[in-house]
Amino acid sequence: MTDVMNTPSDAMPEPFDASIVAVADHTEAAPVPFNVTVRVRRFDPDVDKEPFWQDFTVEAYSTDRVLDALHKIKWDQDGTLAFRRSCAHGVCGSDAMRINGRNRLACKTLMKDLDIKAPITVEAIKGLPLEKDLIVDMEPFFTAYREVMPFMVAGGHEPSRERLQSQEDRARFDDSTKCILCAACTTSCPVFWTDGQYFGPAAIVGAHRFIFDSRDDASTQRLEILNSKEGVWRCRTTFNCTEACPRGIQITQAIAEVKQALIRGRI
């Protein structure tokens, strides 16, 4: 039988002495707002012959994102401002734009990471037809993506269970699966700016994802598509695409691996 120690009935707890306990003050100072100038490159094809810059003064907090500032402009100052956004959590890729000269997602770019003493410049991504303000025509981008067959092609009869794959085989193309098709990489590429026929980094990453998938049977076809003047050989390895990727994909490395596969055969 387990022994149980009982407290004597006449034992009384000692009185609480507040003087020996330091109570921490967890009160945090309220965030301080500040005014920041957001300089937006505007263009309305129905009115303007050329794009122009327009300044807006916005009250913001250090934890605000550039997307928040654009919302304040559109909702409170100028409802004609046009830009794309959807999830606002860095997943959909809708709000890729040039912020202070760099391709970024507006929903992931915090005010505290920018120099708020100078105007924050916001403009549409380059290399695609400008439609209005911060909106570009994405169709050329998606056309190139579709041409590399960004889907699995598996031969034989439909399996009765999933197609198995080892962890090592899955890891071979894991990085390429992170792409959200925001076009930040492709529209940061100088070759794409000057050559509208170049497939671009995002399309090559899309092909890489299936070229190195052990379950796929169309790698040879994809390699043939990219083994062209406007394919992987147009890449000049400037690393702009890798630096612009909001998902941290090693795009330049993926392009190099596709080149190696063309030279040596599928790895």
Q: Residue 15 domain-assigned?
A: no
Q: Residue 26 domain-assigned?
A: no
One domain for residues 108 and 213:
no
- SS3 of 193-207: the string is HHCCCCCCHHHHHHH
Q: Residue 216 domain-assigned?
A: yes
List Cβ neighbours of 19 (8 Å cut-off, separation of 6 or more): none
Any idea what the CATH number is for the domain that residue 54 is in?
Answer: 3.10.20.30
What distance in Å separates the CA atoms of residue 226 and residue 140, rounded to the nearest whole number?
17
pTM: 0.85
Any idea what the CATH number is for the domain that residue 243 is in?
Answer: 1.10.1060.10
One domain for residues 111 and 215:
no
One domain for residues 110 and 174:
no
One domain for residues 175 and 206:
yes
Which residue range forms the structural domain that includes residue 86?
A: 34-136
One domain for residues 130 and 144:
no
Q: What is the number of domains present in the chain?
A: 2
One domain for residues 253 and 146:
yes
Q: Residue 197 domain-assigned?
A: yes
pLDDT tens digit sequence for 16-62: 555 555 555 556 778 899 999 999 999 999 999 999 999 999 999 99
Q: Residue 103 domain-assigned?
A: yes
Burial status of residue 251 (CB atoms within 10 A of its CB: 0-12, 13-18, 19 or more): buried
Q: Residue 40 domain-assigned?
A: yes
One domain for residues 122 and 74:
yes
One domain for residues 124 and 173:
no
Domain stop point among 136, 160, 184: 136
CA angle (123, 190, 99) in 5-degree steps: 25
Q: Residue 28 domain-assigned?
A: no
One domain for residues 125 and 147:
no
8 Å CB contact between 107 and 65: yes
One domain for residues 110 and 178:
no
38: phi then psi, degrees, rounded to nearest 5: -110, 115
Q: Which of 205, 211, 202, 255 is nearest to 233 (CA)?
A: 255
One domain for residues 73 and 147:
no
Digitized pLDDT (tens) for each residue of the chain, 267 residues in all: 445 445 455 555 565 555 555 555 556 778 899 999 999 999 999 999 999 999 999 999 999 999 999 999 999 999 999 999 999 999 999 999 999 999 999 999 999 999 999 999 999 999 999 999 999 999 999 999 999 999 999 987 887 888 889 999 999 999 999 999 999 999 999 999 998 899 999 999 999 999 999 999 999 999 999 999 899 999 999 999 999 999 999 999 999 999 999 998 754
One domain for residues 62 and 122:
yes
What distance in Å separates the CA atoms of residue 152 and residue 156, rounded to the nearest whole number?
13
Q: Residue 192 domain-assigned?
A: yes
162-173: string of b/e by CB count within 10 Å (b at 16+)? eeeeeeeeeebb
